[in-house]
Structure 1
C-alpha cells in the first residue's frame, strides 16, 4: 500500500472517530476574537496559579483561528514549552475542545493522532464569553494535569 493511501486510510478512520472522541453536548459556536487586553488577563491568571504552586510555565493565548494573541514565559521554563503551549492553545481553539479530550481519544482510537494540529496532552482550554469560544489558552512546562490546572485558572478569569 502506498504511503499516501495509508495516510488517507488513517485520516478517514480518525475523522470517523472524531465525533466519538467526546461524548459531550454539541460544541458551541465561535464568538468575536479575544482582545489583547483580555488575553493578558488570562495569562496573568495562569501565571498567578503557577506561581502559587512554584511551577514554571509558558502560556499562550490564541484567537478562534489559533492565531497567537499573547505569549508569556516564566523564568527557567524549559525551551520546548514555547511551541507546546502555542500548539495546545491552537488545538483547543480550532477543535473547540480541551486537549485532554484528544489524549483520551488517542488512547481509544490511535488514528486520532493523525488529525492535523492534534495535541494529546492536557493543558489546552477553550475560552468562552457568553457561551461562545473567543480563543483558547495553552500552558506547558510541568505535567499535563498541572498545565491544565493553570490553563483552567486562566480560562475562568
Structure 2
C-alpha cells in the first residue's frame, strides 16, 4: 500500500470512529445520562473475533527471511566494496522478495535517485531470482516487456539472495557510473552472508 493510501485509510478510520461517536451521542437523547452518551474507543464499539488458523501445509506458508544482522552485514560489505573502488556515491538496499526494505545504506555524496535505484534493483533480483544483469538480456523488441512492471529496474546491480535455491531477498546497488560496478558491490554484499 502506498504512503498516501495508508494516510487516507487512517484518516477514513478516524472519521468512522468520530462519526460512530457522534451518532451514539445523538441517539442518546435528552433523557439519557452523560455516561450513556460517552464515546467508546473503536475497539470497544465492535470487537471482531479473530480466526485462530492452525499451522499446517494447507493453511500456513513458512517463509525464510534474511535476519537484521545479516542484512546489515550485507549492505555494509557492499558499500565497503564500493568505497574501496572509489565509489562513495552509491546506495545499497536489501529487500525481501516482496520488496520490503530490510536494510538500506546511503553512501557519502549519494544522490537521492540512487535510493530508488538500489531498492528497485534489489526487488527485481529477488522477485525474479536472477541477477538484474541477466534479466536485462531478456528484454528485446519495442513492445511491452517485463521491464514495464511497476517497481522493477532491469539494470545491472541487483543480485538475488537464495535459501536452498529459493529466492528470499535481493541486494541492489545504485549510483555507480556503470552497472557492472554496482553489480560487483552487490555481489560482495551477497558473498558476505553466503554459506562458506
- In the alignment, is residue 117 of structure 1 matched against residue 133 of structure 2? no
Between 1 and 2, higher relative CO (CA 8 Å, sep ≥ 6) is seen in: 1
In structure 2, do the counterparts of structure 1 residues 49 and 148 end up closer, same or farther at CA, with 3 Å as the change threshold? same
- In the alignment, is residue 39 of structure 1 matched against residue 86 of structure 2? no
Map residues 15-34 of structure 1 onto 2, 5 A cutoff. Answer: 32-34=64-66
**Cα distance in 2 for residues equivalent to 1:97 and 1:71:** 20
Map residues 61-140 of structure 1 onto 2, 5 A cutoff. Answer: 61-107=94-140, 111-112=144-145, 113-140=147-174
- Residue of structure 2 in register with 1:146 after alignment: 181
- Structure index of larger Rg: 2
Structure 1: tracts of 5 or more residues without a match: 1-29
Paired residues of 1:96 and 1:126 also in contact (CA < 8 A): yes
**Cα distance in 1 for residues equivalent to 2:186 and 2:111:** 17
Three-state SS of the structure 1 residue aligned to 2:137 is helix
TM-score normalised over the length of structure 1: 0.74
**Cα distance in 1 for residues equivalent to 2:141 and 2:186:** 25
Structure 2: tracts of 5 or more residues without a match: 1-61
- In the alignment, is residue 155 of structure 1 matched against residue 187 of structure 2? no
Q: Alpha-carbon deviations, 1:7-56, whole Å to 9, x = none?
A: xxxxxxxxxxxxxxxxxxxxxxx950111111001011101111110102
In structure 2, do the counterparts of structure 1 residues 130 and 102 end up closer, same or farther at CA, with 3 Å as the change threshold? closer
Paired residues of 1:31 and 1:133 also in contact (CA < 8 A): no
- Equivalenced residue count is 128
Three-state SS of the structure 1 residue aligned to 2:72 is helix
Task: Give the 4+ runs in structure 1 shifted more than 2 A.
Answer: 107-111, 113-118, 128-134
